[in-house]
Amino acid sequence: MQSIRTTRSRRPSPIDFIILGAMKCGTTQLWSCLGANPYINLCMVKEPGLFSSKSRYQEWMCGSDWYDRLFKDVRGRRGEASTAYTKGEYDREYAARIYEANARVKLIYLVRNPVDRAISHYLYNALNGREKRDIRSAIYGVDAPYVQVSLYYKQIARYLALFPIGQICVMQSEAFWRNTERHLQGLYRFLDVPYVGYTPGVSEDKYSLSSRVTRFVRNVRKGMKVGDAQSGLWEALGNGGWGPDLTSAELSKRLGFSPQDRQSLRERFREDVTQLALTFPSISDGWDI
């Protein structure tokens, strides 16, 4: 890897807003939508992860320009999207780093039904070959991130301890997907940038479950090494097939994740969701938690 060139010591240009996460909640679609607004200077790379790397952050604070070069040389609200910033089990310092860089930064946090998010996260890793365990072992495993990343209040509490609540926008993914334009209008008001109309973002087909399944089948046929997770997926897909209407809930059921397992997860998330809804009242409908 090419070494990072350090230039003069200086305070870096502040970042104006950050999409914090959560993973598998529509952050790529939102990142793409915001990037179409000419009043926004969005990082050209999604998931740059500046504040989740202590060494790279310190280099940037001392003058390295690697992060600044990820933005176009134009005016506009400067923003980025890194879901690592709400995976606090791995690094508890990034909220403080963000605050140090700009105490006035605005934070955006997309959240969805936590049970659905956890299952989608597992399927994403399993289909990509990163997760070798079966679904029940992985989701209930003590070292797995699937439950932790879905504990939304636990993650955002680290930011509430530093930032005024008025600088934090928590948006329900299901509502954003149902009425994208209306929620973008509200988000632009939050960011204090003009609304210039809605340009559809990244094609959802590219990131749909059926598309990921298709790539998985192709990779297995090419000889991808498989663990218990991939063997189970291969069998489940063979038994039921797949298509554009395949859902994470249906596929997880084929993998042996029962209604009782889903109920167990609901109970695991209930206290966290209650606290989130008390803090952000807009998060209140449709989750059946």
Phi, psi of 275 (to 5 degrees): -65, -40
Q: Taking the model in full, what pTM does it have?
A: 0.89
Under 8 Å between Cβ of 110 and 173: yes
Q: What is the pLDDT of residue 7?
A: 37
Extract the tokens encoding 210: 């059926």
- Does 214 score more than 70 pLDDT? yes
Answer yes or no: is pLDDT of 89 > 50. Answer: yes
Alpha-carbon distances of 65 from 57, 81, 137, 138, 243, rounded to whole Å: 11, 18, 43, 39, 45
pLDDT value of residue 285: 65
| DSSP H/E element including 106 | strand 106-111
Residue carrying structure tokens 């790529």: 28
pLDDT for 232 equals 86
Tell me what pLDDT residue 238 has. Answer: 76
pLDDT at 4: 34
Sheet holding 106-111, edge to edge: 40-42, 77-81, 17-21, 106-111, 168-172
CA atoms within 13 A on the CB side of 38: 2
* Residue 8 confidence (pLDDT): 37
- pLDDT for the residue 12: 61
Q: Which tokens sit at 92?
A: 């508890």
pLDDT level of residue 288 (50, 70, 90 thresholds): confident
For the stretch 19-39, pLDDT in tens is: 999 999 999 999 999 999 999
- The answer, yes or no, to whether residue 5 has pLDDT greater than 50, is no
For residues 163 and 275, the answer to whether their CB atoms sit within 8 Å is no
Closest by CA position to 283, among listed 4, 22, 2, 10: 22
CA dist 14 and 4 (Å) reads 20
Contact 78, 71 (CB under 8 A): yes
Q: Where are the domains of the chain?
A: 17-279
d(CA 119, CA 147) in angstroms, rounded, equals 9
d(CA 60, CA 56): 6
Q: Which two tokens stand for residue 148?
A: 């932790």
Across 257-280, b (16+ Cβ under 10 Å) vs e yields beeebbeebbebbeebbebbbebb
- Region 47-69 average pLDDT: 86
Distance CA 259, CA 240 (A): 18
Residue 11 has pLDDT above 70, yes or no: no
Q: What is the pLDDT of residue 221?
A: 83
Output the pLDDT for position 201. Answer: 57
Three-state secondary structure call for residue 250: helix
Top pLDDT among 131 and 192 is at 192
Is residue 48 within 8 Å of residue 67, measured between CB atoms?
yes
> What is the amino acid identity at position 10?
R
d(CA 41, CA 34): 9
**pLDDT score of 51 more than 60:** yes
In this structure, of 83-87, 110-114, 216-220, the range with the lowest mean pLDDT score is 216-220
pLDDT in tens, 143-154: 778 999 999 999
Average pLDDT over residues 4-26: 73
222: number of Cβ within 10 Å: 7
Whether pLDDT at 222 is above 60: yes
How confident is the model over 63-82, as a mean pLDDT? 89
- What CATH number is given for 17-279 in this structure? 3.40.50.300
Could you tell me the end-to-end alpha-carbon distance of the chain, in angstroms, rounded to an integer?
Answer: 45
